[in-house]
Chains A and B, each alone.
Chain A
Amino acid sequence: MSYFLINILLALLWASLQQFRPVDVIGGFLLGYGIIAALRTWLGGSARQYVRRMPTFALFVLYYIWELIKSNLFVIRALLRDPASLKPGIIALPLTAKTDLEIVLLNNLITFTPGTLGVDLSDDRQFMFVHVLDVPDPEALKTSLKFGLERRLLEVLR
């Protein structure tokens, strides 16, 4: 992960030598990424890992923004319709994530999306309890969270 910070520093350095427009920051970031990618053989294993993960991370961010917009629209629609027709509930999501960092990030991502809200974690860390605004089919939602958000998050982290 430290190469990510180096990449950001390179971007800021490049931007400060230009006029520091948003384009300069993005361009500097891409340039820095190119430099790290070109030097990865000499920088060693963690640089190679960073170069490989960065595109996955970018895809993940785009995917998450899309999910965010979708669920926002869903909640707006839900409250404009009759809120009494919703079927809220707390579901137990079985976790594949093991370490503290993975669980905290997954919880943040789930809670940040409107419509799902992390409530608790079981003592043995097997389940995360999530309050959902409208859950007609709990099993389908569990599968979609597991193979959507969690799988993609673990792809970036592992």
Chain B
Amino acid sequence: MNITEFLTAAALLVGTVVMLFSSVGLLRFPDVFMRMHAATKASTLGIGFILISAAIFFGDGLVTTKLVALIVIYFFTAPIGAQVLAHGAHRARTPMSDQTWIDELDDYETAEAEQT
């Protein structure tokens, strides 16, 4: 087993372990917003490590360039989806867990409704 194989396996392993943790988070967190924190975690470090392992495995500039482009495209699309989901969830008044102790968006909307 040479060093390239070892690095490939190690990066792949770390990526999948991070993804495993994030699915555990999906089960354990109580409300939509907190679950989305777990879901975005899988998509950042998990996918990052798996792409790095692919880049090490191929060791080829063209593949690496494509993978870097993938990360960049991913960076511009994934957060927008997450943000729209969270926005929709808050607008639909999805119940938040009882632990939520501060909601300045709700305060802001209430204050604005009182003004008009």
Give A129 to B87 CA distance when docked, in angstroms: 10
Check if A24 is an interface residue, CB within 8 A of chain B: yes
Report the interface size class on chain B: 35 or more
Interface of B is mostly: helix
A75 partner residues in chain B, CB cutoff 8 A: 25, 37-38, 41
Q: Is A15 an interface residue (CB 8 A)?
A: yes
| Minimal beta-carbon separation of B18 from chain A (angstroms) | 7
B34, B41, B79: the one within 8 Å of A83 (CB) = B34
- Hey, which chain A residues are within 8 Å of B107, CB to CB? 92
CA distance A12 to B68 in the complex (A): 13
B25 surroundings in chain A (CB, below 8 A): 75, 79
Candidates B62, B101, B105; contact of A129 at CB < 8 Å: B105
Asked whether A76 and B33 contact (CB < 8 A) given A92-B104, A135-B102, the answer is no
Please name all residues of chain A whose beta carbon is closer than 8 Å to the beta carbon of B29 when the two chains form the complex: 79, 83
Q: Are B36 and A87 in contact (CB under 8 A)?
A: no
User: Could you say which residues of chain A place their CB within 8 Å of the CB of B4?
Assistant: none
B75 at the A interface (CB under 8 A): yes
Can you name 18 extra interface pairs (CB under 8 A) apart from A131-B33, A133-B37?
A: A19-B61, A21-B61, A22-B64, A25-B65, A75-B25, A75-B38, A84-B30, A87-B99, A87-B101, A89-B100, A89-B104, A92-B105, A112-B78, A117-B83, A118-B83, A119-B90, A119-B105, A129-B105
A residues bordering B, Cβ < 8 Å? 12, 15, 19-25, 68-69, 72, 75-76, 79-80, 83-84, 86-92, 107-115, 117-120, 122-123, 127, 129, 131, 133, 135, 138
